Amino acid sequence: MFDLETIVVDDASTDDTAEIVSQYPVRYVRHSVNQGLSASRNTGIAASRGQYVAFLDDDDLWLPHRFQLQVPVMESRADAGLVYSSAIWTADGARVPVKPVPQPSGDVFKTLLVDGNFMVGSVLVVLVRRAAFDRVGGFYGRGIEDYDMWIRLARYFPFVHVPGEVAVYRQASAGLYARLLVDPQIRKIRRDIVVRGLALVPTAPKRFRDAVRDRMELRNMQSLVAADKLTDTERVTALLALLSEYPRLARYPRWRRTLAWFVRTAALAAPSPFDTASALCDDIRRSCRTSVQTRRLLGRVWAEVAIGSLIAGQRSLARRAVVRACLYDPTQLIARVRDAYVDRSKPMRSE
């Protein structure tokens, strides 16, 4: 079908990469000092001579049919800058179910900005037209640099989704991605990417810009929730820091449910649950200006503490929490009681 050029970029490794690579017909490029993923990918792109570029990180796998699946589509779509498929996701060797997400084709620029990176496996599953990189430049940044690149490419080129799995993404609990989830810098990285993306559409209305930023901050929240290396207390501290950085989050029911749940967990595990919950609510008030949304958030927190206290048999604490919830926003208590009645096994249902 085509000639395949294999380029191995050694980012100043200390293992036997050079010796192993010498056994194969590949082009080998070594950095004298470690420069990170972005620089390594840019080195590979600069060294490439083909029409299309694909990426394989050293701990992941391509499936044998990937180019047979993707190259004909790219050949048939001269306007496309990128085609992408799906990946099998594993964690410490075990396959992880991946929630299905829409995988659109065409102009996906706004979708990437609003919904985030929808490509499962991302850099592993794309085939990019070499000329497209010449148009938008190389990778930069340390952390989710692929998302930044897809936004820039999507601004100028259509994407094409090719159904099927073409790679295996092998995540390790101690790997780079897992560490990135708990790194506070991930929030700044996402914000910088979104700022650069919005700069590509300077005439976009304020409503769209606010929606993009809001959805991005909700993804920051999801990263903290997914970071299983954090204790509940550490997670509450991180969520409060996020709220302080972006007070608009208080307007979202999903945010209120999430923060309330972890405040409840941290408070009930403390020696003095009521005092702990009160102190955390003080932190919430300091994090965002007093508003209707702030009162709703505080009402939800105390409603969650009330439900948790009741389940734990701490009736006195539950009564005090109910009073606090009613003082802030009784509708949140009503909503929480309804949720508990409908399905006690799902404490964070939609309002």
Q: What is the pLDDT of residues 315-344, one digit of tens each?
A: 999 999 999 999 999 999 888 888 777 655
- Kindly report each contact of residues 205-214 with a partner whose C-beta sits within 8 Å and lies 24 or more positions away, as own/partner: 208/110, 210/248, 211/114, 212/113, 212/114, 213/246, 213/248, 214/248, 214/249, 214/252
Tokens 């498929």 map to which residue? 85
Q: Which two tokens stand for residue 55?
A: 């990426």
Task: Tell me how crowded residue 85 is: count the other CB atoms within 10 A of its CB.
Answer: 25
Residue extents of the structural domains in the chain: 54-177, 247-351
* Cα–Cα dist 249/302, whole Å: 18
Report the candidate in 119, 130, 115 with the shortest Cα–Cα distance to residue 45.
Answer: 130
Q: What angle do CA 294, 232, 314 make, to 5 degrees?
A: 80
Tokens 């992941």 map to which residue? 60
Point out which residues pair with 94 in neighbouring strands.
Answer: 91
pLDDT in 10s for each residue of the chain, 351 residues: 678 999 999 999 999 999 999 999 999 999 999 999 999 999 999 999 999 999 999 889 999 999 999 999 999 999 999 999 999 988 888 888 888 888 999 999 999 999 998 886 689 999 999 999 999 999 987 778 899 999 999 999 999 999 999 999 988 765 555 556 556 778 888 899 999 999 999 999 999 999 999 999 998 898 888 877 788 888 899 899 999 999 999 999 989 999 999 999 999 999 999 999 999 999 999 888 778 999 999 999 999 999 999 999 999 999 999 999 999 999 998 888 887 776 554 544 434
* Cα–Cα dist 217/37, whole Å: 24
Q: What angle do CA 107, 111, 112 make, to 5 degrees?
A: 100
Contact 63, 166 (CB under 8 A): yes
**Host H or E run for residue 132:** helix 130-136
What radius of gyration, in Å, describes the C-alpha atoms of the chain?
Answer: 24
* Cα–Cα dist 291/285, whole Å: 10
- So what's the pLDDT on residue 347? 47
What's this model's pTM, rounded to 2 decimal places? Answer: 0.85
What letter represents residue 89's amino acid? Answer: W
- Enter the CATH code of domain 54-177: 3.90.550.10
